[in-house]
Amino acid sequence: MNKLKLIEMIKQLIKLQKEGNLTAKNYQTVEENTSSPSLNNDLVSYKETELICFLFKEIPYYQILPFLNDVCMKLSIIKKENKKLERTIILIEAYFSDLLKNITARIETEVTVHIYWIIQSYYQNNFLNPEKIISMLKRNSCNPESLTGMFTAENIHYEQVLITGFVAEKEELRETISRTNYKRRSSVENKVQKTITKFFENKSFDNLLIELRKCFDYYRQQNERDCEILEEEIMIRLKEFYQKAQRSWKENKTKRKNEEDDSFQLSLNF
């Protein structure tokens, strides 16, 4: 079974899980009705990107991994109860595993964008409005086509260019999409890191965390399970930025102290 068929099957299985209709019978129908087109590396990369884009269009970023885990658990049950479907389900599970790194990276980009809006809101107002913050955090902020590299995949045309009798090698679509996504992710991360390092210090950041926890406490009363998933995504990422900022604050403090000591010693010499 080639990768293009697996990708299309995964997309159909995701739809069935969303509808609550992922059963052994429906799985078998998907397998039988999904064709196996001719394999092409660029087409595989395009379809993978399209699948990940589909996920971000259909599911809030922080719910994607729990949702996919539910899909895998359901497939595991079907596999145990229906030995005839075991072979293809094993392939589906393995492909899910291959896609996970890319999906997780896109989720982290979404989380980082949300963190930027959190720190911007706090810096401007010196507090966080729980209702507004939770409403913002529950929504996907990034355009899915831009986030996943789908714009890149759709807009690139591969034409071999003749240069002095030689055919120029074209870059594989996977590499182009990967580079585009990496640049976007790095840009957002650097923006957040610089903002925290420049405009916050330990005390003000602690106050930000207090305000943010109030927001999660507010949401926890409405939907505890959803809140736990959302809070974990945001707080783990925020902690990473905080730890990097702490190192910068400590280095800056040491640098200022050394400059003050040098200035004091210079004044004594005079």
pLDDT on residue 171: 75
* Entry pTM: 0.88
pLDDT for the residue numbered 37:
84
Residue 90, amino acid: I
Q: What is the enclosing helix (H) or strand (E) of 123?
A: helix 86-125
**In this structure, are residues 22 and 13 in contact, taking their beta carbons and an 8 Å threshold?**
yes
Q: What is the pLDDT along the chain (270 residues), one digit of tens a residue?
A: 789 999 999 999 999 999 999 999 999 999 999 988 888 888 999 999 999 999 999 999 999 999 999 999 999 999 999 989 999 999 999 999 999 999 999 999 999 999 999 999 999 999 999 999 999 999 999 999 999 999 988 887 443 333 344 444 567 888 999 999 999 999 999 999 999 999 999 999 999 999 999 999 999 999 999 999 999 999 999 999 999 999 989 887 776 655 554 454 445 454
SS3 (DSSP) at 222: coil
Residue with tokens 């293009």: 4
Task: Compute, in degrees rounded to 10, the torsion defined by CA atoms 212, 214, 217, 222.
Answer: -90
Q: What is the pLDDT of residue 206?
A: 94
Question: How many angstroms separate the CA atoms of 54 and 40, rounded?
Answer: 21
What is the model's pLDDT at position 170?
65
Per-residue pLDDT, 140: 97
Q: Quote the Cα angle for 96-98-100, to 5°.
A: 70
User: In this predicted structure, what is the pLDDT of residue 169?
Assistant: 55
